[in-house]
Amino acid sequence: MITLALSKGRIFDETLPLLQEAGIRVLEDPETSRKLILPTDDPQVRVVLVRASDVPTYVQYGGADLGVTGLDTLIEHGSQGLVQPLDLRIARCRVSVAVRADYDYASAVRQGARLRVATKYVGIAREFFAAKGVHVDLIKLYGSMELAPLTGLADAIVDLVSTGNTLKANQLVEVERIMDISSRLVVNQAALKLKQPSIRRLIDAFARATAARPQA
Ligand code: PRP
Protein backbone atom coordinates (compact mmCIF):
# COMPACT_ATOMS: atom_id res chain seq x y z
CA MET A 1 0.00 0.00 0.00
CA ILE A 2 1.22 3.48 -0.91
CA THR A 3 0.03 6.42 1.20
CA LEU A 4 0.10 9.92 -0.27
CA ALA A 5 -0.31 12.92 2.08
CA LEU A 6 -2.13 15.94 0.66
CA SER A 7 -3.70 19.05 2.15
CA LYS A 8 -7.18 20.22 1.20
CA GLY A 9 -7.61 23.10 -1.20
CA ARG A 10 -5.23 24.21 -3.91
CA ILE A 11 -2.64 21.46 -3.38
CA PHE A 12 -5.27 18.70 -3.42
CA ASP A 13 -7.03 20.18 -6.48
CA GLU A 14 -3.83 20.67 -8.46
CA THR A 15 -2.44 17.23 -7.57
CA LEU A 16 -5.51 15.43 -9.00
CA PRO A 17 -4.44 15.87 -12.66
CA LEU A 18 -0.97 14.56 -11.76
CA LEU A 19 -2.52 11.46 -10.20
CA GLN A 20 -4.64 11.06 -13.30
CA GLU A 21 -1.46 10.90 -15.36
CA ALA A 22 -0.56 7.86 -13.24
CA GLY A 23 -4.01 6.42 -13.96
CA ILE A 24 -5.21 7.06 -10.41
CA ARG A 25 -8.56 8.63 -9.48
CA VAL A 26 -9.44 9.68 -5.93
CA LEU A 27 -12.87 8.25 -5.15
CA GLU A 28 -14.15 10.88 -2.69
CA ASP A 29 -14.27 14.65 -2.64
CA PRO A 30 -12.63 16.09 0.50
CA GLU A 31 -14.95 19.12 0.36
CA THR A 32 -18.01 16.94 0.93
CA SER A 33 -16.60 13.88 2.69
CA ARG A 34 -15.55 13.95 6.36
CA LYS A 35 -13.13 11.09 5.76
CA LEU A 36 -9.44 11.66 6.41
CA ILE A 37 -8.32 8.63 4.42
CA LEU A 38 -9.59 8.67 0.86
CA PRO A 39 -9.54 5.57 -1.29
CA THR A 40 -8.52 5.67 -4.93
CA ASP A 41 -9.46 3.38 -7.80
CA ASP A 42 -6.05 1.76 -7.34
CA PRO A 43 -6.45 -0.52 -4.30
CA GLN A 44 -2.72 -0.08 -3.62
CA VAL A 45 -2.87 3.73 -3.32
CA ARG A 46 -4.65 5.86 -0.72
CA VAL A 47 -4.64 9.56 0.08
CA VAL A 48 -4.47 10.94 3.63
CA LEU A 49 -5.67 14.49 4.23
CA VAL A 50 -3.50 16.44 6.64
CA ARG A 51 -2.99 20.08 7.46
CA ALA A 52 -0.55 21.69 4.99
CA SER A 53 2.10 22.28 7.65
CA ASP A 54 1.86 18.62 8.76
CA VAL A 55 2.64 17.07 5.35
CA PRO A 56 6.47 17.05 5.81
CA THR A 57 6.07 15.57 9.31
CA TYR A 58 3.84 12.72 8.09
CA VAL A 59 6.29 11.86 5.32
CA GLN A 60 9.41 12.26 7.47
CA TYR A 61 8.17 9.79 10.08
CA GLY A 62 6.55 7.36 7.64
CA GLY A 63 2.87 8.16 8.38
CA ALA A 64 2.77 8.66 4.63
CA ASP A 65 5.17 7.36 1.98
CA LEU A 66 5.03 10.54 -0.02
CA GLY A 67 3.34 13.91 0.00
CA VAL A 68 2.90 17.22 -1.75
CA THR A 69 3.97 20.32 0.12
CA GLY A 70 4.72 23.96 -0.61
CA LEU A 71 8.35 25.06 -0.65
CA ASP A 72 7.43 27.57 2.10
CA THR A 73 6.26 24.77 4.39
CA LEU A 74 9.26 22.63 3.49
CA ILE A 75 11.75 25.38 4.31
CA GLU A 76 10.09 26.09 7.66
CA HIS A 77 9.94 22.37 8.53
CA GLY A 78 13.40 21.41 7.29
CA SER A 79 14.03 18.57 4.89
CA GLN A 80 15.62 15.93 7.12
CA GLY A 81 14.53 12.40 6.17
CA LEU A 82 12.83 13.66 3.01
CA VAL A 83 13.80 12.94 -0.56
CA GLN A 84 12.69 15.70 -2.93
CA PRO A 85 12.61 14.28 -6.43
CA LEU A 86 10.38 16.88 -8.11
CA ASP A 87 9.27 20.46 -8.29
CA LEU A 88 5.65 19.88 -9.33
CA ARG A 89 5.24 23.51 -10.42
CA ILE A 90 1.71 23.65 -8.97
CA ALA A 91 0.12 25.95 -6.37
CA ARG A 92 2.51 28.70 -7.39
CA CYS A 93 2.73 31.90 -5.39
CA ARG A 94 5.41 33.95 -3.65
CA VAL A 95 6.53 34.92 -0.18
CA SER A 96 6.61 38.69 0.15
CA VAL A 97 6.95 41.52 2.62
CA ALA A 98 3.86 43.73 2.84
CA VAL A 99 3.06 46.87 4.81
CA ARG A 100 0.21 49.35 5.18
CA ALA A 101 -0.08 51.58 2.14
CA ASP A 102 0.75 54.61 4.31
CA TYR A 103 3.87 53.08 5.90
CA ASP A 104 7.20 54.25 4.47
CA TYR A 105 9.05 50.94 4.44
CA ALA A 106 11.98 52.16 2.33
CA SER A 107 12.74 54.99 4.79
CA ALA A 108 12.38 52.74 7.82
CA VAL A 109 14.88 50.29 6.32
CA ARG A 110 17.22 53.08 5.21
CA GLN A 111 17.21 54.66 8.65
CA GLY A 112 18.05 51.34 10.27
CA ALA A 113 14.80 51.20 12.23
CA ARG A 114 14.02 48.02 14.12
CA LEU A 115 11.00 46.57 12.35
CA ARG A 116 8.29 44.48 13.95
CA VAL A 117 7.40 41.75 11.50
CA ALA A 118 4.48 39.35 11.95
CA THR A 119 4.60 36.05 10.11
CA LYS A 120 3.93 32.36 10.06
CA TYR A 121 7.23 32.00 8.16
CA VAL A 122 9.67 32.85 10.91
CA GLY A 123 12.62 30.96 9.41
CA ILE A 124 12.25 32.50 5.95
CA ALA A 125 11.73 36.00 7.41
CA ARG A 126 14.69 35.74 9.79
CA GLU A 127 17.05 34.69 7.04
CA PHE A 128 15.80 37.31 4.59
CA PHE A 129 16.14 40.28 6.94
CA ALA A 130 19.46 39.04 8.34
CA ALA A 131 20.89 38.91 4.81
CA LYS A 132 19.74 42.50 4.27
CA GLY A 133 21.18 43.60 7.60
CA VAL A 134 17.76 44.80 8.79
CA HIS A 135 16.99 44.40 12.50
CA VAL A 136 13.64 42.78 13.12
CA ASP A 137 11.52 41.55 15.99
CA LEU A 138 9.61 38.57 14.65
CA ILE A 139 6.10 37.91 15.91
CA LYS A 140 4.87 34.40 15.15
CA LEU A 141 1.26 34.19 13.97
CA TYR A 142 -0.74 31.21 12.76
CA GLY A 143 -3.29 32.96 10.56
CA SER A 144 -4.60 36.21 9.06
CA MET A 145 -1.25 37.98 9.06
CA GLU A 146 -2.88 40.84 7.12
CA LEU A 147 -4.48 42.00 10.34
CA ALA A 148 -1.18 42.66 12.11
CA PRO A 149 -0.20 45.95 10.41
CA LEU A 150 -3.81 47.14 10.50
CA THR A 151 -4.06 46.81 14.27
CA GLY A 152 -0.59 48.09 15.13
CA LEU A 153 0.67 44.63 16.11
CA ALA A 154 3.45 44.86 13.50
CA ASP A 155 5.01 47.23 10.96
CA ALA A 156 5.21 44.58 8.26
CA ILE A 157 4.18 41.03 7.45
CA VAL A 158 5.85 38.21 5.59
CA ASP A 159 3.16 36.15 3.90
CA LEU A 160 2.17 34.24 0.79
CA VAL A 161 0.87 36.32 -2.08
CA SER A 162 -0.86 34.79 -5.04
CA THR A 163 -3.26 37.15 -6.85
CA GLY A 164 -2.58 40.02 -4.43
CA ASN A 165 -6.32 40.38 -3.78
CA THR A 166 -6.08 39.78 -0.03
CA LEU A 167 -3.44 42.50 0.37
CA LYS A 168 -5.46 44.91 -1.76
CA ALA A 169 -8.68 44.26 0.14
CA ASN A 170 -6.85 45.20 3.35
CA GLN A 171 -5.04 48.28 2.06
CA LEU A 172 -1.66 46.59 2.21
CA VAL A 173 1.08 46.79 -0.41
CA GLU A 174 3.76 44.32 -1.37
CA VAL A 175 7.16 45.97 -0.88
CA GLU A 176 9.59 43.08 -1.36
CA ARG A 177 9.40 39.71 -3.01
CA ILE A 178 11.38 37.19 -0.98
CA MET A 179 11.02 34.01 -3.02
CA ASP A 180 8.87 32.18 -5.54
CA ILE A 181 6.99 29.19 -4.21
CA SER A 182 5.65 26.05 -5.82
CA SER A 183 4.73 22.63 -4.46
CA ARG A 184 7.27 19.85 -4.14
CA LEU A 185 6.92 16.10 -4.08
CA VAL A 186 8.52 14.72 -0.93
CA VAL A 187 9.21 11.04 -0.33
CA ASN A 188 10.11 9.12 2.80
CA GLN A 189 13.69 7.89 2.45
CA ALA A 190 13.05 4.36 3.73
CA ALA A 191 9.81 3.95 1.73
CA LEU A 192 11.65 4.89 -1.44
CA LYS A 193 13.94 1.89 -0.90
CA LEU A 194 11.35 -0.57 0.39
CA LYS A 195 8.55 0.23 -2.06
CA GLN A 196 10.79 1.22 -4.95
CA PRO A 197 8.73 0.03 -7.98
CA SER A 198 5.36 1.52 -6.96
CA ILE A 199 6.81 4.79 -5.71
CA ARG A 200 9.01 5.10 -8.78
CA ARG A 201 5.95 4.59 -11.01
CA LEU A 202 4.21 7.50 -9.27
CA ILE A 203 7.27 9.75 -9.41
CA ASP A 204 7.68 9.04 -13.12
CA ALA A 205 4.01 9.77 -13.86
CA PHE A 206 4.20 13.02 -11.87
CA ALA A 207 7.38 13.95 -13.74
CA ARG A 208 5.67 13.35 -17.11
CA ALA A 209 2.65 15.45 -16.14
CA THR A 210 4.89 18.22 -14.79
CA ALA A 211 7.08 18.29 -17.91
CA ALA A 212 3.95 18.68 -20.03
CA ARG A 213 3.07 21.95 -18.23
CA PRO A 214 4.14 25.38 -19.37
CA GLN A 215 7.31 26.65 -17.66
CA ALA A 216 5.92 30.06 -16.68
C1 PRP B 1 -2.80 32.71 1.64
C2 PRP B 1 -2.08 33.88 2.27
C3 PRP B 1 -2.96 35.05 1.96
C4 PRP B 1 -3.66 34.62 0.68
C5 PRP B 1 -3.05 35.32 -0.49
O6 PRP B 1 -3.70 32.21 2.53
O7 PRP B 1 -1.88 33.69 3.65
O8 PRP B 1 -3.87 35.30 2.99
O9 PRP B 1 -3.47 33.23 0.51
O10 PRP B 1 -3.70 35.00 -1.69
P11 PRP B 1 -4.08 36.14 -2.74
O12 PRP B 1 -2.83 36.94 -3.00
O13 PRP B 1 -4.53 35.39 -3.95
O14 PRP B 1 -5.18 36.99 -2.15
P15 PRP B 1 -4.38 30.79 2.29
O16 PRP B 1 -5.70 31.00 1.61
O17 PRP B 1 -3.41 29.88 1.61
O18 PRP B 1 -4.66 30.30 3.74
P19 PRP B 1 -3.81 30.52 5.09
O20 PRP B 1 -4.25 31.86 5.59
O21 PRP B 1 -4.24 29.37 5.93
O22 PRP B 1 -2.35 30.48 4.73
Residue 80 CA, chain-centre distance (Å), reads 17
**Same domain (yes/no): 16, 83:** yes
177 DSSP β-pair partners: 96
In whole angstroms, give the CA distance from residue 9 to residue 192. Answer: 27
Of 65, 73, 3, 82, give the one whose Cα is nearest residue 38: 3
Pair 70, 19 in one domain: yes
Reference 55, options 34, 32, 82; nearest CA is 82
Q: For a pocket test of ligand 1, which of 124, 161, 181 has the largest count of ligand atoms closer than 8 A to its C-beta?
A: 161
Q: Among the atoms of ligand 1, which is closest to the Cα of residue 52?
A: 21
Contact assessment for residue 87 and residue 210, using Cβ atoms and an 8 Å cutoff: yes
113 plus 176 within the same structural domain:
yes
Based on the domain organization, do 49 and 110 belong to the same domain? no
- Check if the beta carbon of residue 76 is closer than 8 Å to that of residue 122: yes
What separation in angstroms does the CA of 132 have from each of 64, 112, 127, 178? 38, 11, 9, 11
Report the pLDDT value the prediction gives residue 212, as an integer from 0 to 100. 85
Q: How far is the CA of 14 from the centre of ligand 1 (A)?
A: 16
CB of 98 closer than 6 A to ligand 1? no
User: Does residue 163's CB lie within 6 angstroms of at least one atom of ligand 1?
Assistant: yes
Q: Estimate the crossing angle of helix 10-21 against helix 196-211, to 10 degrees.
A: 100
pLDDT in 10s for each residue of the chain, 216 residues: 999 999 999 999 999 999 998 999 999 999 999 999 999 999 999 999 999 999 999 999 999 999 999 999 999 999 999 999 999 999 999 999 999 999 999 999 999 999 999 999 999 999 999 999 999 999 999 999 999 999 999 999 999 999 999 999 999 999 999 999 999 999 999 999 999 999 999 999 999 999 987 765
Distance 111 CA to ligand 1 centre (A): 31
Same domain, 38 and 102: no
Taking the centre of ligand 1 as the mean of its atom positions, its distance from the CA of residue 121, in whole angstroms, is 13
The CB of 165 under 6 Å from ligand 1? The reply is: yes
Whether residue 97 sits in one domain with residue 79: no
Pocket test for ligand 1, best of 13, 144, 162 (most atoms within 8 A of CB): 162
- Note whether 142 and 98 are same-domain residues: yes
Residue 182 CA to residue 18 CA, distance in Å, equals 15
- Domain of residue 161 covers 93-180
Q: Is the CB of 143 under 6 A from ligand 1?
A: yes
Shared-domain flag, residues 6 and 85: yes
- Ligand 1: distance of its center to the CA of 129 in Å? 22
